[in-house]
Amino acid sequence: MKTMKDYLRSGRTTAICLLLLPIVVSLRAQTPTATEIVRKADENSRGNSLYSEITMTVVRPTWTREVGIKNWSKGDDYSLVLITSPAKDKGQAFLKRQKDLWNWVPSIGRMIKMSSSVMGQSWMGSDFTNDDLVKQSSSVNDYTHQLEKTEKVREYDCYKVILLPKEDATVVWGKLVMWISTTDYIEIKTEFYDEDNLLINTYNGYDIRSYGRRRLASRMEIVPADKPNQKTVMTILRHDFDPPLADSFFSQQNMKSVK
C-alpha cells in the first residue's frame, strides 16, 4: 500500500518530468532528419548554379597525370564539363541535360551519347566514375536515408548517415555511408559499397574553405579500397555560386564552342 510519502515522491517525479519535457522536445526538434542532412549537404555543395575551375591529379604507383577542368551546373538537371588540359584531351566535353548524357570528342569529331550502363566506369582514367562527374544519380532522391549516430572524423563532429538505393532507382552503388559535418553540412567522408556490401572507394574532403556564404572542402580525394598507392585528387581553384546560366547554355552546340 502506498503511503503519503510515496505519493509526494511520485508527484515530485511527475513535476520534474513535466519540467524537463519541453527541453527534450526542443532538443529533438533541433536534430534534423537524415534526409534533411543529406539535402542540406547537397544544396551547400551546389547552390542553384555553379561555375568551377578544378585541377584533377590522378596518382598511380609509377606515374602521375594532371587534368584541367571547367564545370558549369544548374540544379539537378544540367551539367557541362570541359577539359582544358592536357593538350591531347583539350576541348573534350561532357553534357548532362535532364536524363540525356553526351560526350563531345573533338579529336575524332564525334558526339557520343552515354548510356546508364557506363555510369560506373572510370572517368578520364581516374578513380571518379562517370556518375560522380555528371551526378546522374541523386543522393537526395535516389536513396533512402538513415541517421546512425554522431561521430568524429578527423577534427569534425559529423552526422553518420546510411544511404540505400530505392527499388526503382538506377544507381551505381549498393550503399553509401556519409559523414556530414554538424556545422555547415560539409561532406567530410563517404564510403562507396557495391551490391555485395564490399567497400570499393573512400572519399575524403580536406582543407575546408569559405566560398561566399558556403564552406566546402577545397581538396577532395577518392582512394580505392583494393589498389595500394593509388588515388585521385581534385583541387578547387575557383568556385562561383549562383552565376546566371540559362538552360540553353547546356546544349550540344555549346559543348563544341565553350571555352
Band of the pLDDT at 12, cuts 50, 70, 90?
low
**The pLDDT of residue 18:** 46
Locate 250 and state its grid cell: 547546356
Domain ranges of the chain: 34-255
By CB atoms closer than 10 A (0-12, 13-18, 19+), residue 207 is exposed
Q: pLDDT tens digits, residue range 81-114?
A: 999 999 999 999 999 998 888 999 999 999 999 8
Does residue 6 carry a pLDDT above 70?
Answer: no
Q: Report percent pLDDT > 70 for the chain.
A: 87
Distance in angstroms (rounded) separating the CA atoms of residues 48 and 163:
23
Strand pairing category for 175-181 and 187-193: antiparallel
Q: pLDDT tens digits, residue range 27-57?
A: 445 789 999 999 999 999 988 999 999 999 9
Residue 162 CB: number of other CB atoms within 10 A?
16
Q: Report percent pLDDT > 90 for the chain.
A: 69
Distance in angstroms (rounded) separating the CA atoms of residues 78 and 56:
21
Band of the pLDDT at 202, cuts 50, 70, 90?
very high
Weakest-pLDDT range from 8-12, 40-44, 241-245: 8-12
CA atoms within 13 A on the CB side of 7: 4
Band of the pLDDT at 134, cuts 50, 70, 90?
low
More confident residue, 187 or 10: 187
**The pLDDT of residue 28:** 47
More confident residue, 121 or 24: 121
Does residue 201 carry a pLDDT above 90?
Answer: yes
**The pLDDT of residue 115:** 83
Architecture of domain 34-255: Clam (2.50)
Nearest to 31 by CA among 214, 191, 161: 161
**The pLDDT of residue 70:** 97
Distance in angstroms (rounded) separating the CA atoms of residues 93 and 177:
30
Locate 83 and state its grid cell: 577539359
Distance in angstroms (rounded) separating the CA atoms of residues 180 and 160:
7
Q: pLDDT tens digits, residue range 151-167?
A: 999 999 999 999 999 99
Does residue 11 carry a pLDDT above 70?
Answer: no
Nearest to 176 by CA among 152, 212, 202, 157: 202
